[in-house]
Structure formats: C-alpha cells, structure tokens
Amino acid sequence: MQCRNVLTHIDAMRTDEIDSQDRDRIRQHLDDCPSCEESVTDLEGFAALARSLRHSPSESLAERVCSSVLDSYDSFDLDGDRVWVAFSSAGLRMVDIAAADESDFRERYRKRFGRELRRAPIPENCRKSVEAAMLGLPIGLDAIDFSGLTEFERDVLTTIRKIPRGEVRPYAWVARAVRRPRAIRAVGNVMANNPMPFVLPCHRVVPSSGGVGNYAFGPDRKRRVLRSEGAPIELLDSLAREGVRFVGSATTRIYCFPSCRDARRIREENRVPFRSAEDAARKGFRACLRCMPETASA
Amino acid sequence: MRSTWTGGTALTADSEQLALAVHESRDGAFERLVARFETSLFNYANRLLQSPLDAQEVVQDAFVRAHHALTSQYDGRRVRELALKPWLFRIARNLSLNRRRGHNHDLERPLSEFDDGRIGPLVPAISVTGIVEAREERDALERAIESLPDDARELIVLRFMEEMSYQEIAKCTGQTESALRGRVFRSLKLLRAALSEGEAQSCNAETC
C-alpha cells in the first residue's frame, strides 16, 4: 500500500470507519513507515484539540429560536375556574376554562393554531387583562395577539368588543357590522371558535330569535356570565317568548334592542314592543344610533 | 433524494427519539432539540459564513424550518427514518449557501492534487509551552482555519469539531464517503500549509 492511499484512510481509521481488510493493510504499512505513523499522531493531537475551537452562539439564541416557534402558556385559579392562558410576546392568544389538564390545553391550542406551547410564567399585564376580562371589563386591543386568525375572524372578534357590558347583540347584527350581512352562520362559527372567550366577549352575541343560544362552556354558563354583567336575561327571555325583538319609546319615537341601555330607561307606560324593524319603521319610529337595531333586520 | 436521509449508523436511537418527540409535540422536545444542536449548527454556519450575525440568523431559520418539517410536513414513518443530525446540518448548509448567493463560494470545487507527504504537526506541543504560548498557538490555528478555502474549512468543522462520521458528512454535503476521505486529507494538508505560512509571517514580523 502506498503512502498516499494510507494517508487518505488514517482519519477514517481513527474513528473505526474502515473495513477490517484495509485496517490490517494500513497497520502493516504504519509499522514500516515512520512518516505516516507520525501523521497518525499529528491527526490524533489535532482531533483532540479541534473540539475546543468551536464557536459558541450568544446565550440568547436558544431563547429566540424557541420563542419564534413556540408560544407560552400558564394557568391560574380565578373564582372557582382553572383559567388556561396561551400568550406570545405580542399578547394573549388563547384563553380556556374547559381544558381538562395541561396536555388537553396544549392539544386544543395545537389544533387551533398549529403551534406548540411551552410552560412559562404569565406576564403580570397578561394576567391582569384576563382577570379584568373575566369581570366583564374591556381590555385594550394591544393586549391581544391576533396573528394566526383570518381577516374575517379578526373583523368579527374586534367588532364584538364594541358590545357594551350588560348588553347583547344578535349574530345578524355582527354580520352586518362587518359588512357581510349574509355571513350569519360564519359569524356563529367564529364565535364557536373564539380563541379568547371573556377577553373577546362572544357571550354577548345571541340568536336574533331570542334566548342566549349556544356557548363553548354551555348555555347555563352563558346566562350566568351575562347576568353577572347586568344583562336583563329574564326580560329578554319573556320578550322572546312573546316574539318581541325590539322596544321603542312612545315619547322619543326611537326603537332599540331590548338590552340597549337606552331601551332599559324607557318607562313601562311608554314602552312599545316591535316584532320587526319594519314594524317599528311603519309606526314612525327610528332606530337607536347607539345599538343600531336596524342592522339586524334581515 | 429522500432515501439519502434514512437508515444507516448515522441514525442513532437517541436522535431518532428526539425527532419523533418533536414530531409528536411532546413537552419540551423542541427545546431539547435546540439545546442539543444550537452550538453545533452555529459553529458550522459561522465557519461557513464567517459572520456571527449571519450565522445566528441561519441557525434560527434552520430550527424554524426543521420544526415546521417535523411537525407539519413529515409523517411518522419519515420522521422515524430520518437521520436527524446530518439532516439539520444540511438545512443549515443550504441556508448558509443561499445567504451567500452572489458571493463566490467554492464548496463544490473538485479535489485538487495533493502530494504523498505526511500531514505535518497540526498541534504545536501545547502541553509543554505554558498557557500564554498555548493561547497564541490556538490563535494561530484559528487564523489558519479562517484562511482555508470554504470546502476545506467545512470538512475540518464537520469532521473534527462536530465529530461527524464520514457517513453523516456524506449525507450533509452530498458527496461520496470515499471522495470525502481524500478531501479530508487535502483539508488537513491545507491547514498545515496555512499554519506554516502564519508562522513564517509572525517570524518575519518579529525578525527572529
């Protein structure tokens, strides 16, 4: 075997990546050739040193990599609920009170956003936002990370933020408000998949026909949340039974949704019920500018 | 092309499990993947690009792509058959080369002729010369590595710093194992030549 052939193999021999026949022939050559034998020593010395010459990345690299791929989650107890919260550096991404455990929540999140979560302590401002939201208080848009949602979802979810605490609006009203009046069922789907219940108050959206409709955490929970916010649930129920969708004031000749705060100020003797917006218009009533009930008439 | 990533000794049970854990989104799996390979990939990308900033971006991008592939693109069978380490290096390699498109790079150039002589001492006798001189010699070695052509520098990194097998390097760079043996030898010769040149220059500077 020639020196040239031996030298191209000695490094592979160092890590035992060579067949036994070649190894025997090279060993034989090395016994007779001090020059090649020296190269083996040189190589072993270099191999031992080389690893210490590696360059290391900055300490923040792993953190940056992980936070660009993974979002974070945490959970805490609030008024008898275990609240699960997913968040990114841009704000809240998902809130859940129905998750059975950590892996259930992570699985729900992965299904919804196709991203993974890692446990990390929730920042104080995120936690405060969620607590405020669960009390029915409005929270700033900048606390929410809307990325990963479709434009339609974003439109719908930012629109329902405008429904005041203690009031409700029909799905059809939301569809009109986002200039997609026929997309009532689509609005319902967005509500059903709302990643941030309470924070984005999907519980304030109800069927046009009355009643509270469905809710991710059950209709009973929806009623409880609405009642705690001061919505006139019993009134809405009784009006729905009578087929009344709007109420007007005989003095101002303005009609509203029954939960509108202006409607609730109408005295009993001045209250005029309407089954439809057309009915109200025919009788010379105009729509309230605050709750905009005409947008719900289909 | 797909089959080049599968099978063989490069696929250790350990890294197979890690790829599968990431695929199945197990808790902490991706963090473990990052912790395990970030230094290796950074060192490799930084040696290829010779720019720590670019290397950080490449590594970040490589991990994001790897995560996407493992969790959203590859099915379980493909992940189980994946040779994780060379696959990751290959992603970092492609991203590094993309980043330098327009610049000249000579990673793919043919093996040049080399003589039959011995490689020569690559490591000066560090143990006997004390810490200060050891450091100077390490610096000299560092400069010599920096001055190497891209392909030689790449092989020095993969083979000696990252301790990859010839099979793994073959998967990463797309060359045959037998060609790699010759190339590694040539790279060592070039490194030795660069070291001698560096020594000669520093001797001239000090007029010794």
Residues A119-135 have pLDDT tens digits of 889 999 999 999 999 88
CB contact under 8 A, B188 and A68: no
Residue B75 confidence (pLDDT) above 60: yes
State the pLDDT confidence band at A6, using cuts at 50, 70 and 90: confident
Q: How far apart are CA A4 and CA A1, in angstroms?
A: 8
Query: Is some CB atom of chain B closer than 8 A to the CB atom of A267?
Result: no
Contact B123, A45 (CB under 8 A): yes
CB burial of residue B173 (10 Å; 0-12, 13-18, 19+): buried
What is the average pLDDT across A5-21?
Answer: 89
State the pLDDT confidence band at B106, using cuts at 50, 70 and 90: low
Tell me, what's the ipTM?
A: 0.77
Of chain A residues 139-158, which have a CB less than 8 A from chain B?
none
B53 SS3 class: helix
For B10-14, B30-34, B42-46, B49-53, which range has the lowest pLDDT when averaged over its residues? B10-14
Averaged pLDDT of chain A:
90
**Percent of chain A surpassing pLDDT 90:** 60
Q: How far is B91 from chain A (nearest CA, A)?
A: 15
Q: How far apart are CA B185 and CA B193, in angstroms?
A: 12
What is the average pLDDT across B137-144?
Answer: 86
State the pLDDT confidence band at B110, using cuts at 50, 70 and 90: very low
**So what's the pLDDT on residue A211?**
79
**So what's the pLDDT on residue B1?**
40
Q: How far apart are CA B154 and CA B198, in angstroms?
A: 20
**So what's the pLDDT on residue B2?**
42
Residue A297 confidence (pLDDT) above 60: no
Question: Residues of A248-283 as b/e, b for ≥16 C-beta within 10 angstroms?
Answer: bbeeeebbbbbbbebbbebeeeeebbbeebebbeee
Per annotation, catalytic residue among A3, A33, A36, A202 = A202
What is the average pLDDT across A26-41?
Answer: 89
Instruction: Identify which of A129, A196, A214, A126 has the alpha carbon closest to the alpha carbon of residue A158.
Output: A196
A102 SS3 class: helix
Q: How far apart are CA B72 and CA A43, in angstroms?
A: 43
B113 SS3 class: coil
Q: How far is B118 from chain A (nearest CA, A)?
A: 6
**So what's the pLDDT on residue B5?**
54
**So what's the pLDDT on residue B102?**
56
**Percent of chain B surpassing pLDDT 90:** 47
Averaged pLDDT of chain B:
81
Contact A187, A154 (CB under 8 A): no
Which of A5-9, A170-174, B10-14 has the largest mean confidence? A170-174
For residue A202, indicate whether it is catalytic: yes
**So what's the pLDDT on residue B125?**
45
A47-57: per-residue pLDDT in tens?
Answer: 888 888 899 99
Query: Is some CB atom of chain B closer than 8 A to the CB atom of A51?
Result: yes
Q: Which one-letter DSSP state was computed for residue B103?
A: B
Question: Residues of B105-132 as b/e, b for ≥16 C-beta within 10 angstroms?
Answer: bebeeeeeebeeebbebbbbebeeeeee
* Chain B residues touching A101 at Cβ < 8 A: none
Across the interface, of B43, B59, B160, the residue whose CB is closest to A46 is B160
Q: Is the pTM higher than 0.90? A: no
Residue B10 confidence (pLDDT) above 50: no
What is the average pLDDT across A103-111?
Answer: 90
| Cα A116–Cα B66–Cα B6 angle in degrees, nearest 5 | 125
More confident residue, A245 or B203: A245
Query: Is some CB atom of chain A closer than 8 A to the CB atom of B169?
Result: no
What is the average pLDDT across A157-162?
Answer: 94
Q: Among all residues of chain B, which has the CA nearest to that of A45?
A: B123
State the pLDDT confidence band at B192, using cuts at 50, 70 and 90: confident
3-state helix, strand, coil in chain B (%, to 5): 75, 0, 25
Question: Residues of A157-194 as b/e, b for ≥16 C-beta within 10 angstroms?
Answer: bebbeebbbbbbbbbbbbbbbbeeeebbebbbebbeeb
Q: How far apart are CA B172 and CA B195, in angstroms?
A: 27
Of chain B residues 178-197, which have a CB less than 8 A from chain A?
181-182, 184-185, 188
Q: How far is B16 from chain A (nearest CA, A)?
A: 20
Residue B6 confidence (pLDDT) above 60: no
Residue B204 confidence (pLDDT) above 90: no
What is the average pLDDT across B138-159?
Answer: 91
Contact A71, A88 (CB under 8 A): yes
Residue B14 confidence (pLDDT) above 50: yes
Q: How far apart are CA A147 and CA A157, in angstroms?
A: 12
Distance of CA A255 to the CA centre of its chain: 36
**So what's the pLDDT on residue A17?**
92
